[in-house]
Every structure is written in structure tokens, then in C-alpha cells.
Structure 1
Amino acid sequence: MSLPEPEYSRNMRLTGHSDQGGRPDGVQVMVHRGYAYIGHMVSQGFSIVDVRDAKNPRTVRYVPAPPGTWNVHLQAHDDLLLVINARDLFADSRFADERVYYTRQVGETVKTVSGRDWSAGVRIFDISQPENPREISFLALDGIGVHRIWYTGGRWAYVSALLDGYTDYIFLTIDLADPRKPEVAGRWWMPGMNEAAGEQPGWPEGKRYALHHAIIHGDTAYGSWRDGGLTLLDVSDRAAPSLISHRNWSPPYGGGTHTALPLPGRDLLVVLDEAVLDDQQDGEKFIWLFDIREPANPVSISTFPVPDERDYVAKGAHFGPHNLHENRPGSFVSETLIFATWQNAGVRAVDISNPYRPVETGALVPAAPKTMMDTRPGRPQVIQSCDVFVDAQGIIYSTDYNGGLSIIEYLG
């Protein structure tokens, strides 16, 4: 079968593609022991694609989500797969206009939900047989559920969760000492988010303060709070996380802080602001490089180059960063070569050998999706490269909300 012709490529080559068994809507992808685990945005569950022969990927299983629930994000390490359960918000007509999701507190929009027809929490699977995940436990939570997880083995996992009584997603530490009996150990939120305790939001109208997720290195959690900016949290006591520092550059910039990737060997932090609205209605978004030699005082020192080989704003849909390859143990790990998705501008590789002058060294913009899985009205049929994962061999895997899994070779 012929591969879809990329719209643009430089120092990258498309070598494989999968429609994920007829469910080409993908959000987070984890490649583990030769299998890609892909959370769906519309199809609700998750799929498993055998990528041991990356040029000929083969979908082997679809695992459905409970009714009314999506599994957009997941994490795989050793013999465990952790999958989020949350209310399928994009199936809610109140979020048909994505501005409602991105410019106000989710807890405010869904306050009036009557009855609970979804599952909230974390499903934990044994994947010692990669094609046959076996659910071994479920951490049930109240509220809307979990957005994203960070788990790289061992006792602790970390999630963003929207619990009853909070305005939006907060930070939780999860104790997996016994993966069959997961427990919430600690929590942290920004002042103003604990509505049940009488706290009042102190941020501007039209801004959304919510934890997207945190990446943990050692005893520090690097948290991205959408329009609330960046936090460094001390998690040496997993039951009582505490604030080291908080930085926010919105306003004047447009917010949407999504991913904060530490490069511990260089005392650097890559911080990505997600473009969340069509046609740059939320302003131009950037990937920032911070100097964190002094954790109490993170300092921005540069931004990544912005794709400019065509007018991507005029192309339509979202133009701007979405996510980074996160240097997970067992994957490709580099503190000088960073991979990012730019939505309608595809996948980009950036060399930060000189942290003050990041240089793009490769790019691939996949073809437009053949079909639209996104059921929200008026969505343009434009590629929206979502997540990126680079395996230990340097093979790049990127998802799209509609266009399936692109498997890419980096030639730089």
C-alpha cells in the first residue's frame, strides 16, 4: 500500500503509516517493546499497533473505554500500562466550540451535569503480553476524571485530575507500591482553585488555570498550568508537594502552557505553549528554553524557530506547538536534539547545542487526513500533528486527531 505523500519534508522521510484499525483519531502515543499504544480522541478507547516492523505497522487490538469516557492519554513502562478515564468532553455539545474548553474553567462549564454516565480515574493494565493487556486495578476518583499521567516505573505516578470541588485539573501523586491497590497520596493546586474550601480565582476572565501535566525528574515536578504558566514543585515528600517557583508570562503572551521538559544534565527546561484556537486567535505561541540553574528563579533565554516555509496561519485550524518528545527512559533521550509537533505544521526537530540559538534541523508535514473523525462542527480537514514519540532507534511516531499514525525517519 502506498504511503500518503507528505505536504512538506526536510531531513525527514515518511516510512510507515497506520489508520489504527479504522480509528485514525490519535492523541498520546507510547511505543513500548515494539508496540504503539495510542489513546483516541473520538473513538474513546485505545488501540495497539505492532510496530516491530515500523514500515509495515499492524493494528492488533482495540480496547474500548467505558461508556461516556475517553482514554486520550496513557503511559507504558515495564509490565504496566496506565490509562486515563475521564468524561468525554468533546462529546458534550457545550464544548462544540473549542473556545469554551480553552478559555474558561472546565469545572464551571460542567457544574450542572446531572447523573454520572462516565468513569473517572486510572485503569492499570498488565502488559507482560503486549498484545493482550489485562486490567488488574482501577483507581476511582470523583469529578470529571484524569487528563494526563506521568509514569516511568517504580512506586510513584503523577496525574492531573479534575476532582469535585475544584475549578479545574490539579496535581496528584499516586502510590503504586501495590499496582493492584493504587492510592492517592498527595495533591497540590494553585491558590484560587479549591472552590469547595471557599477559594476565589484571582486570574483574569477568559484565562484557564489548569494543570495539563507535570514531568518529574528526581524530586522535582515541572508542571504546566495552561494560562497559569509554569511551576516547579518539590515532591521529595510525595504526600505533601510544595512550591519551589512559579512563572507566568500570560499576559502579555497567550498562555496554553502544555509541557515542561527538564534537561537535567544541562540545567535547562524546554517549555511549550500549546496553540489552542484556529487561525492564531489565541496569539502566536512559542517553545521557550529556560535556564534553571537556580530552581527558585527560572529564566527564559531563547525561543525555538517558528516554521515559516509557508503561511501556516492562513492554512487553517491550529498552527503552533502542541507537544514534545519527553525523553522517557527506554526511548530516544537527548539534551541537544528536541522533537516537537506543530499541529498544521507537522513534526519538527530542533538542535539546541547552543541554547541561545536553537536551530531547526528537520521537518515533516503529513498529508491532510482522508476522513474526519472529529465530529465537532466546522472543523477544517487539515493535519493537526498531535503527539510525538521517538523510540530508542530514533524512529519518530506522530499521531493526528484524524489522520492516523505517521512513522518517520530522521535524516539529520
Structure 2
Amino acid sequence: MTTAPELRPADLAAGFTHVGHTDQGGRPDAMQVQYWNRHVYVGHLFSGGFSVVDVTDPRHPTPGVFVPAPERTWNIHLQAADDLLLVIHARDLWKTLDVEQNYYQGSVGTRLAGAEQDWSAGVAVYDISAPADPRPIAFLPVDGIGVHRLWFTGGRYAYASVLPDGFTDYVLRVIDLADPAHPQWAGGYWLPGMNTAAGEKPTWDTDRWRYALHHAIVAGDTAYASWRDGGLTILDVSDRAAPTLVSHRNWSPPYGGGTHTALPLPGRDLLVVADEATADDLADGLKHVWVFDIREPENPVSIATFPTPAEDDYASKGRHFGPHNLHENRPGSFVSEELVFGTFQNAGVRAFDLTDPYAPRQVAAFVPGAPETVVDPRPGGRPVVQTADVYVRDDGITFITDYNGGLDVLEFTGKE
């Protein structure tokens, strides 16, 4: 590799080396990141669209094409596998719910029901056999707000969180990709009370709590689904046309909700579950990453939490402090059932050793320096790091994103 360019100093670097950075061609608002064939694909939170970045040399990530979203549309989440890129289309809710807590609090579908659809809603499918040049091949539409997040690691099926007309918020829908040029909706699942079009009535306070599928991670015939304030479900998806409930757990209240990512470690009958911190200055309480024993899937039991970053006063640093997303052990990436990587927003990215599941311990951490600009248009925007997503390549090269700070490339060098 050639010599790395000068990088702004990190606030903390232990077990990670900072090797590269890009603002993605002047669009530093980075959300989800996916790696495929020496390229990364980054969804933008505010710019409307997604970017392709060549990371053949991780020290010199090179922005390539930017694919703009249709008007009033989000492309914040995407998935890459089997030379396919799936990109979500949904109503850009920051243009509708400009105060952040209006997005996280209460049922979105209920509040926005009946709006005339002037945005694109569904899933776009691209051929990325030429990774630098995504070629659109299909679009699977939705009548409603649209799609929030996907799970697709190749093969016939993908799994989406979808907000169709007639539902209080996002629910699970299965996508059949037997013919990627003609994708079809298959089965689905929702928490009882979400299908108001069928006469169901929520049993929770829809003004306060947001029961909404963030996304599901699927291992074999089991889906581990995170429902924000609605907690966790384990689902049997052996019949993709008719997923069924195995178990449901919700710890909100007394805890503050925001369940975001449920990462199975199937070889150890463990499940790691991250609750997203969704408010500035811990206004929604301190959130945790939980460890569940799922030897009996009908009775998942919480046995530990990850240690909270404490080498700085993150609670007073500003913006969000606490978990957001986990590296999801995608096939072909860094896959481990003992090392778990997670983002903690103003506390950067962390690696944890789960050798003893009852006593997780932090073994590496990286906190980027403050972003140089603030492109977040929402009230309260300020130059504080907000590490959002993490993808770890099989060789330890790690990609992390920030709402204002773009894409940073790290090298995981091992335990402290």
C-alpha cells in the first residue's frame, strides 16, 4: 500500500489504527455501509441517495458514482450480496418530522396515515457485477411510507422492515428474489395490534411508544427481529410465506426502548441485542447491549450487558451517547462468535470479548476526532462524532460511518 494521507487525530485509538478517510465526494452524511468486491456502498442520511467508494487501497478510499434518490425519498439503508445491491426507498422523514424526537416517539404510520404519496417507496435492485457502476434491474413498490432496512446475504430471500398503508408502523415482509429482475413480496409478520386496517387495536400508548420493526437478522430458518420500543421477537421463518412467533420479550419500560439490532451467535446459543440511544444528552436514559441465552428459544434469558464506555464523560459530550448498530457477521466478512463490534455514537466504535458471556469485556476502541463540518440540518446539530455503522472485513479492515464525518477506514489490530 502507498503512504496514508494525513488524518485528523483520533480522540481515542486502542486496538484500531486509523488508515483512511473520505467525505464521499463532499457528502459526509454517512449511514449504513456495505462492502462488496473491493467497493463500499454508503447510504446517505440527508443528501438523498447513496455513494460508491473504491476501497481497493483502504488507505486511499476513492469516491465513485453518487446515485441520487427520487425527490422526498430516503436511501439510507442497503445490502450487498450475490452481485446484487438492494436499496431501500422510503419517505424522507426528516423533511416531515424535522425534530428528531418526533421520529423516535410514537407510531409513525398512525401520524402520517392518508398523506398523498409524492415519494418513492419500495426496494430498488441493482446489478453490481461491475461494482463501481450499479445498474438498476428492478423495483419492488410499496403503497405506504416505504422500507426502512433490509437483511440480504445472498440466495432466494431478503427480509425487509416495511410500513405499508393500514399499519401503525414498520413490520416484517419477506422478499422472494428467485428472479432478481422480478422480485415479489412473500410472507410477513407484525406484532398484534399493528394491523389497524384489519381492525386490530394497539395495546400500547401510540403517542409515547414506537412499536416498529427496525430489522431482522436471519440465521437458518430463524429470524431475530428488533422492534424498537416493542422489544425482541424470535420468529420461525421456515415457511417464508407465513413466519410464526417463537417468543417475544420486551423490557421497555422500565428500560428506554429503541431495540435496534439482534445479532445471533448460533454456534453458542447466544444473542447479542443492542438498544439504540435515540436522544441527546441521555434524555431517553442509558441504553445497553444485552446478552441473551437462547438455548431454549421459547424462553430467551438476559444474562449480561456489555460494559458502558467510561474513559471519558460521554454523557456530557453532546448529541447521542450509547449503542447504535453491531457488525452483523455477514458471510464473507469478519465472522466471530467471541468478538463483537458495536458503534456507540459519540463514543465511537468498540470491540468486545465475549469468551465469557456472563462477563463481556472491552478489548479495543476508536473514537474519531470531531467532524470538520455539520451537515445535519436538524435542530441541535453540532460538531460531535456520531459513529453510526460498522462493517469489519475478514482481514480486520473496518469501515465506520458518521452522520457528519463521512467514512473512516480502520485496521483492527487485536485486543488491548
TM-score by length of 2: 0.97
Q: Does 2:154 match 1:153?
A: yes
Q: Which runs of 5+ in 2 are unaligned?
A: none
In the TM superposition, residue 380 of structure 1 has moved relative to its aligned partner by: 2.3
Which residue, 47, 60, 63 being the options, matches 2:67?
63
Match of 2:125 in 1: 124
Q: Does 2:74 match 1:74?
A: no
The one-letter amino acid of 1:399's match is T
Q: Does 2:169 match 1:168?
A: yes
Once residues 108 and 276 of structure 1 are traced to their aligned partners in structure 2, the CA distance between those partners, rounded to angstroms, is 20
Q: Does 2:42 match 1:41?
A: no
User: How is 1:254-265 mapped onto 2 (pairs within 5 angstroms)?
Assistant: 254-265=256-267
Q: 1:179-198: per-residue Cα shift (whole Å, max 9, x none)?
A: 11111111110011011111
Tell me whether 377-386 or 124-133 shows the greater mean CA deviation.
Answer: 377-386
Once residues 241 and 353 of structure 1 are traced to their aligned partners in structure 2, the CA distance between those partners, rounded to angstroms, is 32
The one-letter amino acid of 1:65's match is A
User: How is 1:181-260 mapped onto 2 (pairs within 5 angstroms)?
Assistant: 181-204=182-205, 205-260=207-262
Once residues 306 and 250 of structure 2 are traced to their aligned partners in structure 1, the CA distance between those partners, rounded to angstroms, is 18
In the TM superposition, residue 112 of structure 1 has moved relative to its aligned partner by: 4.9
Match of 2:178 in 1: 177
The one-letter amino acid of 2:49's match is G
Once residues 396 and 365 of structure 2 are traced to their aligned partners in structure 1, the CA distance between those partners, rounded to angstroms, is 14
Once residues 384 and 272 of structure 1 are traced to their aligned partners in structure 2, the CA distance between those partners, rounded to angstroms, is 16
Q: Which runs of 5+ in 1 are unaligned?
A: none
Which residue, 313, 325, 329 being the options, matches 2:315?
313
Q: 1:125-169: per-residue Cα shift (whole Å, max 9, x none)?
A: 000000111000000111000000000111100000000000000
Q: 1:52-91: per-residue Cα shift (whole Å, max 9, x none)?
A: 1000110011011111111000000021000000011112
The one-letter amino acid of 1:167's match is T
The one-letter amino acid of 2:94's match is F
Once residues 67 and 404 of structure 1 are traced to their aligned partners in structure 2, the CA distance between those partners, rounded to angstroms, is 22
The one-letter amino acid of 1:369's match is P
In the TM superposition, residue 388 of structure 1 has moved relative to its aligned partner by: 0.3
SS in 1 for 2:310: coil
Q: Stretches of 4+ moved more than 2 A in 1? A: none
Which residue, 31, 35, 39 being the options, matches 1:31?
35
Once residues 167 and 273 of structure 1 are traced to their aligned partners in structure 2, the CA distance between those partners, rounded to angstroms, is 21
Paired residues of 2:113 and 2:165 also in contact (CA < 8 A): no
Aligned residue-pair number: 409
Paired residues of 2:82 and 2:155 also in contact (CA < 8 A): no
Q: Does 2:94 match 1:111?
A: no
Which residue, 88, 100, 117 being the options, matches 1:84?
88
TM-score by length of 1: 0.98
The one-letter amino acid of 1:208's match is R
Match of 1:349 in 2: 351
The one-letter amino acid of 1:48's match is V
Once residues 280 and 316 of structure 1 are traced to their aligned partners in structure 2, the CA distance between those partners, rounded to angstroms, is 9
SS in 2 for 1:310: coil
SS in 2 for 1:99: helix
